Structure 1
């Protein structure tokens, strides 16, 4: 206890820093104003209850700063996540987070629609070869066989048409020779129209005859039932009509050429066909070669 009847501050340091005698406390001011007498019991008890209030010191100020720092540090510790405070305790939480991340990566995500960037159109000029259209290949022209046996090209082409039509029917070689020899005798291997049938002249022809209504390579008559005029003017049809009639004759293969031809044509000159046999044979061999 000091001389002014107050209790010494047990928390204050000795020396000038622990005292503050020059500054009267609020309690002392109140006591002096109230009375000039010695300090009362009330003043003494107040000093015992709150000695720091009566005279603040540097120790009290330092203690307050330390307390504030402690509170801030405690609050900071509370704010930290549990895995920062205790690595061992935080391990399950970290494992759970990793599993959630893996699960979310495995989930299907909505497709992302990307706006395609229009590609730049090349402006290079087309090459000359690219602009040229491919020309269609020309159809192969039928092979022209050089005439033989004193025939001209028109006669040779007609003989070729006879052989071609017979091969379509699958007749033997002897039937082809008979057909060519018959056409040599009947039309000299020219496709005839008839002056009696003006209609026959509307179709391709190479000559005009006047033997009744006979037309074509084999001088077949529409009035005798060989067919229509337009058909008999076609070398292929006329040949097939002749060969079909030849194949109906029994044993035609064993007959002489002139007899086989006469059996089909029923001509007024039945022996005339024999003279063309050797020439017809040479023409057919040239075509089949």
Structure 2
């Protein structure tokens, strides 16, 4: 009888230890998620540049609009560097003492003919309006800060030069000239993804003529190759937080939210596959 009692006690203790271990592991993982600093980085050569997911999403939009307009990557460099200086790449709804009615990514002013406040607060409109002005100048032969100043007419004309390196790095990745250079470290998804919303955003930013996409379950398949393929793939990574994206596959590589980076994978030629979360916490 005593042996049975001791055996039962041992089983209970073992079960308690296992349960405690599982709880401790789960608690540790939850703590890791809570403390995780979400960020998106671009590493080209020895230099690494960092933005948060909101900023990276806006940088991706600026690059996508440049592609829609048929501009070279240099235009995206100028656009991103300008938005970093003007708004820290945030779609802000306030100005400053020099321009109290300035709004949006580029701090454009309704009183100076940039559009209505509602228009300027639409990032796609704001980026198009910026490039519309940039195209009036021979920006390809200008320094980044000179070209930005031609458009913005800022009281601090040399300030844009401070952001040229990160502008150039993000533009290179997001226009597809530097494959798999952008990586985002993110927490688990908070909501399920919406494939139709992703397609809508792609078409609005790149132009519907450049995007051939379809939703297949929780995946978005975009027919794109070469630079456009890598632009779309890294756009998807830059928007992974907002879109609840868990993987992005293109040209033999896959970005994985859980693995926190790119790795080799079997992929279809000429198709970018964006896989979205089916539920909260997926990925």
Q: TM bucket by the smaller chain?
A: 0.3 to 0.5
With normalisation by structure 1, the TM-score equals: 0.43
Q: Relative contact order (C-alpha < 8 Å, sep 6+): which is higher?
A: 2
Structure having the larger proportion of residues in helix: 1
Structure having the larger proportion of residues in strand: 2
With normalisation by structure 2, the TM-score equals: 0.44
Q: Which has the larger radius of gyration?
A: 1
